[in-house]
Amino acid sequence: MTVKQTVEITNKLGMHARPAMKLFELMQGFDAEVLL
C-alpha cells in the first residue's frame, strides 16, 4: 500500500531546528521517505 501526503508549513519563518528534529526522529520509526 502506498500513502502520499503533502503538508505545508504556513509559519512565515518556516520550521525551526528543534521541531524539525522532532519530526525527523518521529519519522525514523516508519518505512517512509520524508523530504523537508
Cβ–Cβ under 8 Å, residues 13 and 26: no
Phi, psi of 11 (to 5 degrees): -70, 130
Whether 9 is catalytic is no
Distance, in Å, from the CA atom of 18 to the CA atom of 24, rounded to the nearest integer, reads: 10
> Per the residue annotation, which of 16, 18, 25, 31 is the catalytic one?
16
Which sequence positions are flagged as catalytic? 16
